[in-house]
């Protein structure tokens, strides 16, 4: 059902971050038992960190404000300034975190274009450097799963196994940018602990598909988390009575994952509907989870006008250059919103998106 924004019905597909905390989250926030988390005595934060770590089979966890900070902390702990980090070319950490890992962690990067986001393990093996007198040591590999700019693609477990083997063989730490790893869990049926077993560190966002207003949890070995806690403090991320936020996070963690398949079904319905529109270039088969990039025969020049037309119709989605117009499904859009989007696109794509 469309949400009312300034009195107008809006179907907001811009991101799964736009969800508003539900009644259960708000009640949990209001009743949260809190302490000063910088002194290490906020029981609600500790419960969240413990529960999340347990699910992924990791010894310890750290509540952080954002996914961006989780990635920056992970890279800062895994790599010294001047060392090298491997990333996929379209990864969020490389493209959309304002160059933070260069600016604050001081690392150099090497990017690899993966097969729909999945970096070839042989490439990792070929380019990983132990760090002789002249060369930077390759310290870490960041794997994004699901992969945002590759349309929410799940990097399959077997592929993760191969990357994990190669990373270990070359003494490279593997960090999963699991902003949406719960979507991978929902789509694949593979439990969190199985993904957690194939990396040194992983984090996930509470503030995306799980529906919390804020927060991510970074997971890894005790020593890693102890150092991560220190880096979080350096970055100004030491938060005090933050159990009020962790309380919403706990609701999201325990109740969010079970409904993500609904988001995937909505994305699939959208993909199938759009694929039938003349001029649309969309492959429903490659829509694994809750993200869909809509492209057209006319290409990038048409995405701005189509997105403008959508907006005028009360359907919000983001044009992202050559990648297409991104639609993300989440708990605040449903079948009615999908239908509204399709009605608008049936008019807009044939008008702006047909090939010559």
Ligand X SMILES: Cc1ncc(COP(=O)(O)O)c(C=O)c1O
d(CA 225, CA 177): 16
**For residues 61 and 217, is the Cβ–Cβ distance under 8 A?**
yes
Total number of residues that touch ligand X (CB under 6 A)? 11
Residue among 91 and 296 whose Cβ is closer to ligand X: 91
100 to 139: interface string for ligand X, x by CB under 6 A: ----------------------------------------
Could you say which residues in the range 135-164 bind ligand X, by CB under 6 A? Answer: 144, 148
Residue 96 Cβ vs ligand X, minimum distance, rounded to whole Å = 7
Q: By C-alpha distance, which of 13, 102, 9 is closest to 326?
A: 13
**For residues 221 and 58, is the Cβ–Cβ distance under 8 A?**
yes
Q: Tokens 């009644």, residue?
A: 23
Cβ-Cβ contacts under 8 Å for 142 (sequence gap 6 or more): 71, 74, 75, 85, 86, 87, 88, 91, 93, 175, 176, 177
Could you say which residues in the range 34-93 bind ligand X, by CB under 6 A? Answer: 66-68, 92
- DSSP 3-state of 155: coil
- With CB under 6 A as the contact rule, the residue among 179, 206, 219, 231 that binds ligand X is 179
Cα angle value 147/102/230 (rounded, 5°): 90
Residue 73 Cβ vs ligand X, minimum distance, rounded to whole Å = 12
Residue 312 Cβ vs ligand X, minimum distance, rounded to whole Å = 26
Instruction: Tell me the residue number closest to ligand X, measured at CB.
Output: 67
Residue 80 Cβ vs ligand X, minimum distance, rounded to whole Å = 23
**For residues 287 and 297, is the Cβ–Cβ distance under 8 A?**
no
Residue among 58 and 153 whose Cβ is closer to ligand X: 153
Residue 88 Cβ vs ligand X, minimum distance, rounded to whole Å = 10
Could you say which residues in the range 192-231 bind ligand X, by CB under 6 A? Answer: 205, 207, 216
Residues near ligand X (CB under 6 A): 66-68, 92, 144, 148, 177, 179, 205, 207, 216
């Amino acid at each position: 059902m469309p949400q009312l924004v300034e009195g107008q019905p809006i179907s907001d597909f811009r991101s799964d971050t736009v969800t508003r905390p539900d009644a259960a989250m708000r009640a949990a926030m209001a009743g949260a038992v809190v302490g000063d988390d910088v002194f290490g005595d906020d029981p609600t934060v500790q419960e969240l960190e413990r529960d999340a770590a347990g699910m992924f089979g990791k010894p310890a966890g750290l509540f952080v404000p954002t996914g961006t900070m989780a990635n920056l902390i992970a890279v800062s702990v895994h790599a010294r300034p001047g060392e090298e980090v491997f990333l996929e070319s379209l990864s969020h950490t490389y493209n959309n975190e304002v160059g933070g890992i260069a600016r604050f962690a001081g690392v150099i990067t090497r990017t690899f274009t993966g097969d729909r986001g999945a970096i070839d393990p042989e490439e990792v093996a070929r380019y990983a450097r132990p760090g002789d007198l002249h060369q930077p040591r390759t310290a870490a590999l960041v794997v994004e799963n699901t992969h945002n700019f590759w349309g929410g693609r799940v990097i399959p477990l077997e592929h993760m196994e191969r990357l994990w083997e190669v990373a270990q063989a070359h003494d490279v730490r593997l960090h999963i940018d699991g902003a949406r790893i719960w979507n991978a869990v929902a789509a694949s049926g593979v439990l969190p602990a199985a993904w957690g077993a194939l990396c040194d560190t992983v984090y996930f966002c509470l503030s995306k598909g799980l529906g919390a207003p804020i927060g991510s949890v970074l997971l890894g070995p005790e020593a890693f988390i102890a150092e991560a806690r220190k880096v979080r403090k350096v970055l100004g991320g030491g938060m005090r009575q933050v159990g009020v936020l962790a309380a919403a996070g706990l609701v999201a963690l325990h109740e969010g994952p079970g409904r993500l398949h609904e988001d995937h079904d909505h994305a699939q319905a959208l993909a199938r509907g759009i694929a039938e529109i003349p001029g649309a270039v969309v492959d429903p088969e490659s829509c694994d989870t809750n993200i869909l990039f809509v492209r057209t025969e006319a290409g990038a020049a048409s995405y701005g006008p189509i997105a403008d037309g959508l907006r005028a119709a009360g359907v919000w989605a983001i044009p992202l250059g050559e990648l297409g117009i991104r639609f993300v499904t989440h708990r605040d859009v449903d079948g009615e919103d999908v239908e509204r989007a399709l009605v608008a696109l049936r008019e807009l794509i044939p008008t702006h998106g047909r090939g010559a």
